[in-house]
Amino acid sequence: MEKNNYKIGVDISGGDYAPSEIFKGAVNAQKEFHENIVLIGVKKEIEEEARRMKVNLDGFTVVDAPEKIEMSESPVTAVRRKRDSSIVVGSQLLKDGKIDAFVSCGNTGAIVCAATLTLRPIEGVERPGIAILMPTRKNVSILLDAGANIEPKPLHLFQYGIMASSYYKTVLNKENPTVGLLNIGEEETKGTDFVKRVHKLFSASSLNFIGNVEPKELFSGNCDCIICDGLMGNVALKVSEGCGKFMVRSFFELVNQDFFAKIGFLFMGQAFKKIKRIFDYSEYGGALLLGVDGVVIKGHGRSSHIAVKNAIKVAIKELQWELNTEIKRRINEVCNDSRIREILTS
């Protein structure tokens, strides 16, 4: 990787294995990628980790953030009250231009909340959205919005389509990714008036719109970017997670009741671990906050030092790819099309 002299802020307090795994990942990332790592967290803990791992902190910037937002805290309350937490401090550093990107494996809701409150939207973007990368039978699909905006306007959803498409093209490297509108049936006549209005906007746009997609397509990989309001997206995501956990638990219960199944399980432990991991949706590849003017990466809550290093790598790539510049350009281009403007003003 070439050296870009980026400043990457890393939340040392966030994640199940914080601070040690995060610290280790950040240190290794600096060694490997030669960018400037800014360690944000409880100063004493950072110094202790450095001592323990025999790391010289001279090569790092350390920013003290004495408060911690726990994984289980209510995001909005935590962000409002804990102004000295690593998540709030990191978002502020990003806003002030003191770091170029912020990487955290902490409380997803708090990261989204702090970033949304602190950072401005990208010029032209009406509302930021939370994108989730869903594993499917083929490739990854992006689900947007997964809960940032529960009572959106049609324009918001339309812009989510543009942003998801930009992300897919730029970061996942696919030309002309498909965009679909999550709905209870494929026919154009299905769904609420709201969904029908969004359908009209997409149909008139230059996006590769494939029409309504049913919830089952969240798992098929037939649609690259699946767009919906934050309420539906959140329910879809949470049901997937709940269903995955329920299946895994039910399976274990059945196995425990059956002698032969127990023997069988000994043989298939590895395969089973893999499927369990696939179903950790909200954590798969992390959540993305699309539409804010700044690079914010949410790593897996259970990130090891290797995962932390990879999340930092993604941040560097997003900066190199200039995703937000691409989003700004595309929002401007697609929304200012005369047909779209006509529909929006009618």
Name the residues that contact its own copies, by CB under 8 A. 74, 136-137, 147, 150-151, 182, 184, 187, 191-193, 214-220, 230-232, 234-236, 238-247, 249-251, 254-255, 257-258, 260-261, 263-268, 270-272, 274-275, 278-279
Q: How far is the CB of 107 from its own copies (least distance, A)?
A: 14
Q: How far is the CB of 110 from its own copies (least distance, A)?
A: 14
Q: How far is the CB of 158 from its own copies (least distance, A)?
A: 19
By beta-carbon proximity to its own copies, the closer residue of 5 and 270 is 270
Q: How far is the CB of 273 from its own copies (least distance, A)?
A: 10
By beta-carbon proximity to its own copies, the closer residue of 194 and 321 is 194
Cα within 13 Å of Cα(116), Cβ side? 22
Beta bridge partners of 129: 290
By beta-carbon proximity to its own copies, the closer residue of 1 and 263 is 263
By beta-carbon proximity to its own copies, the closer residue of 98 and 190 is 190
Between CA 27 and CA 126 the distance in angstroms is 37
CB 223 within 8 A of CB 141: yes
**Residue 292 DSSP symbol:** B
By beta-carbon proximity to its own copies, the closer residue of 265 and 321 is 265
CB atoms within 10 A of CB 243: 12
Q: How far is the CB of 65 from its own copies (least distance, A)?
A: 27
- Of residues 235, 315, 230, the one with CA closest to residue 9: 315
Written as one letter, the residue type at 28 is N
Q: Can you tell me whether residue 45 is helix, strand or coil? A: helix
Specify burial of residue 167 (Cβ count, 10 A radius: 0-12, 13-18, 19+). Answer: buried
Between CA 82 and CA 117 the distance in angstroms is 14
Q: How far is the CB of 222 from its own copies (least distance, A)?
A: 12
**Residue 98 DSSP symbol:** S
Q: How far is the CB of 146 from its own copies (least distance, A)?
A: 10
Q: How far is the CB of 9 from its own copies (least distance, A)?
A: 29
Q: Map tokens 């939207």 to a residue.
A: 121
Copy the structure tokens of residue 33. Answer: 């990628």
Copy the structure tokens of residue 50. Answer: 């450095």
By beta-carbon proximity to its own copies, the closer residue of 210 and 235 is 235
**Residue 57 DSSP symbol:** G
By beta-carbon proximity to its own copies, the closer residue of 2 and 193 is 193
CA 275, 276, 277, 280 dihedral sign is positive
CA 303, 110, 144, 234 dihedral sign is positive
First to last CA, the chain: 50
By beta-carbon proximity to its own copies, the closer residue of 265 and 284 is 265
